[in-house]
Amino acid sequence: MRSQTKELEEFKARTRELDKVAKMLVRRDLELSETRARREQELEKIELIFSNLSDGLILINGQGRLELFNPAAEQMFGVRARDILGRTFQGLETFPRLIEVVRIVGEKKEFSRYELPIPPNKVLEVSAILLRAGEVKDQGVILVSHDITKEKQVEQLKTEFVSLAAHQLRTPLSAMKWALQALLDGDAGLVTPLQRELLEKNRISNERMIALVNDLLDVTRIEEGRYLYHPAFSQFEELVQGVVLSYRTEAKQRNIALVFDLPKEKFPRVLIDKEKMLLVIHNLVDNALRYSRPGARVEVTLSHDEKEVAFSIKDSGIGIPEEQKARLFEKFFRASNAKQTYTEGTGLGLYLSKNIIEAHEGKIWAESKVGQGSTFSFSLPIRQES
Amino acid sequence: MAKILIIEDDKFLRELIVQKLLKEGYEIIEGVDGEEGLQRLKEGKPDLVLLDLILPGIDGFEVLKRAKENTETAGIPVIILSNLGQKEDVERGVKLGAVDYLIKAHFTPGEIIEKIKLVLR
């Protein structure tokens, strides 16, 4: 009797246990199907995003097969997804419009960006990103293409306009320059000292306008997208040395000691657009000389650490009034004391320099005291060469 | 003394540079547009050409191209003297075979003559 009761107790206990397990299983099953539903929803959402995206999306998986070709890509490249999905990317070469895509994928660069002309008159900007999962590289490639046909057309029109405007402005300015020079040279008869003085002032105004046209051209070129046209890995210190050397004669003429010690060790190469960077260095050296008195010293120094290279130029010139420092890099801004010292400045040099340095993801700044001089510096990030 | 052909459509600019060159003792022939310039180039056999780029009719780039394609005139040095100064223009001019590229607004006639002397030397 006793053992029977015990057995019954045990049986009841086991039933309760089983009951618990059963409930748990039901709950888990419910959870699982909820998760599955949620995942399906997520997938649908992603697919919805992909198919409605205005940018073209192309995904090549780790095995080199085409896994995704969204409607925007279909439209941009004029190829239907169902005709190509599942093919290896090399196999896409049979479609003339995809030849470039095959080439880009084949490069296997970590990140690359190209402008692809699509006949008859479309231009696409295609960015390719190598996919990786943690340490495992080469999980495929994703290509994002963006239609930039309109931007290209506007850019083209703008370039044509600028070039024409420059020509139209420069022609009468050239005529004035040449005529003034002829008069100053005495080609049209003797010039009295008073006439000479007026002509000389006129010549300065004329040169100022020519410089202004030049700067306007530069501004338009820089603002036209504000991106770098031809970035390449370069030896920064050699670039600087070239510029400093080119100013040697002028510095001598103005009796200014222009000092630059080329660092003995090679600098890590930095990714720069040489032409634009030269513009910046020229600007800064030019300014330093321009606002220094005869007998002064201008010193250029370079330095670097693992993260960046830095340039700085120190003069003992007129300096910048404290309250005007904040506006130094603004378009057309000129400090009050600078206007008096050197009338030809256009107030665009530093603005241009700032744009260029920032397009390189660098920083530019100035330290200064009125009467004691200024130091202008900029730094550029060092990027891994791949 | 050397003979110089000036292809320039702006009358005043042409006069200014011609006067200066005559004073230096050069012999001068002139063309006021691309067509005339090419004709003078063939007939006149100059020792050097000063060439503007924006011209009515055939532009300076085309004049330069045709001058270099013709074996009779291909050897004559051409200095571009223009107010176009974008990098692409300069590159295009040099690629087509110009020996120098001067932007009018950046040079006085005296400095242009220095460049001419350098090329003729």
Q: Does B90 touch chain A (CB under 8 A)?
A: no
B86 contacts in chain A (CB < 8 Å)? 159, 162-163, 166, 217, 221
**Min Cα separation B72/chain A (Å):** 32
Tokens of A143: 């290509």
Q: Predicted confidence band at A121 (pLDDT cuts at 50, 70, 90)?
A: confident
Tokens of A5: 């009761």
Which residue range is the domain that position B68 belongs to? 3-120
Residues of chain A with pLDDT > 70: what percent?
A: 94
Flag whether pLDDT at A1 surpasses 90: no
Q: Does A161 touch chain B (CB under 8 A)?
A: no
User: Domain total for chain B?
Assistant: 1
Do B60 and B80 meet the contact criterion of CB atoms below 8 Å apart? yes
Q: Does A166 touch chain B (CB under 8 A)?
A: yes
Do B67 and B76 meet the contact criterion of CB atoms below 8 Å apart? yes
CA angle B90, B93, B95 (to 5 degrees): 105
A215 contacts in chain B (CB < 8 Å)? none
- Reported as a single tens digit per residue, the pLDDT across B45-94 is 999 999 999 888 899 999 999 999 999 999 999 999 998 887 788 899 99
Report the distance separating Cα A92 and Cα A85, nearest Å.
10
3-state SS, A94-119, equals: HCHHHHHHHHHHHHCCCEEEEEEEEC
Q: Mean of the pLDDT values across residues A242-255?
A: 90
Strand partners, A146: A125
Q: Predicted confidence band at A223 (pLDDT cuts at 50, 70, 90)?
A: low
A217 contacts in chain B (CB < 8 Å)? 85-86
Greater confidence (A319 vs B87) lies with A319
Minimal-distance CA residue of chain A relative to B10 = A171
Strand partners, A141: A60, A130
Q: Does B32 touch chain A (CB under 8 A)?
A: no
**pLDDT attached to residue B120:** 94
Q: Mean of the pLDDT values across residues A90-110?
A: 85
**pLDDT attached to residue A229:** 64
With CB atoms and an 8 Å threshold, state whether B105 touches A177.
yes
pTM for this one?
Answer: 0.52
Greater confidence (A93 vs A181) lies with A181
User: A100 phi and psi, to 5 degrees?
Assistant: -65, -35
**Where are the alpha helices (H) located in A109-247, listed in sequence order?**
149-184, 193-223, 236-246
Best to test chain B binding among A178, A180, A219, A228 (most B CBs inside 10 Å): A178
Which residues are CB-neighbours of A386 under 8 A, at least 6 positions away? A109, A110
Tokens of A314: 């120190």
With CB atoms and an 8 Å threshold, state whether B19 touches A185.
no
Q: Mean of the pLDDT values across residues A54-80?
A: 91
Report the distance separating Cα A5 and Cα A61, nearest Å.
66
Q: Mean of the pLDDT values across residues A26-55?
A: 90
Mean pLDDT of chain A: 87
Report the distance separating Cα A52 and Cα A200, nearest Å.
66
> Cα–Cα distances in Å, from A94 out to A88, A114, A127, A342, B22?
12, 21, 22, 64, 65
Q: Mean of the pLDDT values across residues B99-106?
A: 94
**pLDDT attached to residue A224:** 47
Tokens of A67: 């896994």
**pLDDT attached to residue A183:** 94
Mean pLDDT of chain B: 93
Question: Tokens 């039933």 correspond to what residue?
Answer: A15
Of B83, B103, B108, the CB nearest to A178: B108
Residue A279 Cα to chain centre, angstroms: 16
Among the listed ranges A41-55, A149-163, A239-253, A359-373, which one has the minimum average pLDDT value? A149-163
Among the listed ranges A78-87, A163-172, A182-191, B93-102, which one has the minimum average pLDDT value? A163-172
Do A371 and A292 meet the contact criterion of CB atoms below 8 Å apart? no
Question: Tokens 């340039």 correspond to what residue?
Answer: A311
Report the distance separating Cα B109 and Cα B106, nearest Å.
10
If contacts are CB pairs under 8 Å, which of residues 259-288 in chain A contact chain B?
275
**pLDDT attached to residue A221:** 63
- Reported as a single tens digit per residue, the pLDDT across A328-369 is 888 777 887 887 776 667 677 888 889 889 888 899 999 998
Flag whether pLDDT at A227 surpasses 60: no
Report the distance separating Cα A278 and Cα A204, nearest Å.
26
Q: Predicted confidence band at A225 (pLDDT cuts at 50, 70, 90)?
A: very low
Report the distance separating Cα A345 and Cα A206, nearest Å.
13
CATH number, residue B16: 3.40.50.2300
Q: Does A175 touch chain B (CB under 8 A)?
A: yes
**pLDDT attached to residue A124:** 92
Q: What is the ipTM of this complex?
A: 0.88
Q: Mean of the pLDDT values across residues A285-299?
A: 91
Question: Tokens 């959870």 correspond to what residue?
Answer: A31
> Cα–Cα distances in Å, from A244 out to A9, A284, A285, A349, A379?
99, 11, 7, 17, 18
In the three-class reduction of DSSP (H, G, I as helix; E, B as strand; rest coil), residue A215 is classed as helix
With CB atoms and an 8 Å threshold, state whether A166 touches B84.
yes
Tokens of B120: 């003729």
- Long-range contact set of residues A347-353: C-beta below 8 Å, sequence gap at least 24: A348/A215, A348/A216, A348/A218, A348/A219, A349/A215, A349/A283, A349/A286, A349/A287, A350/A283, A350/A287, A351/A219, A352/A215, A352/A218, A352/A219, A352/A222, A352/A279, A352/A280, A352/A283, A353/A279, A353/A280, A353/A283, A353/A284, A353/A329, A353/A378
End-to-end CA distance of chain B: 12
Do A70 and A56 meet the contact criterion of CB atoms below 8 Å apart? yes
Strands A270-273 and A231-234: antiparallel
A212 contacts in chain B (CB < 8 Å)? none
With CB atoms and an 8 Å threshold, state whether A174 touches B110.
no
With CB atoms and an 8 Å threshold, state whether A178 touches B84.
no
Flag whether pLDDT at A285 surpasses 90: yes
Q: Mean of the pLDDT values across residues B29-34?
A: 95
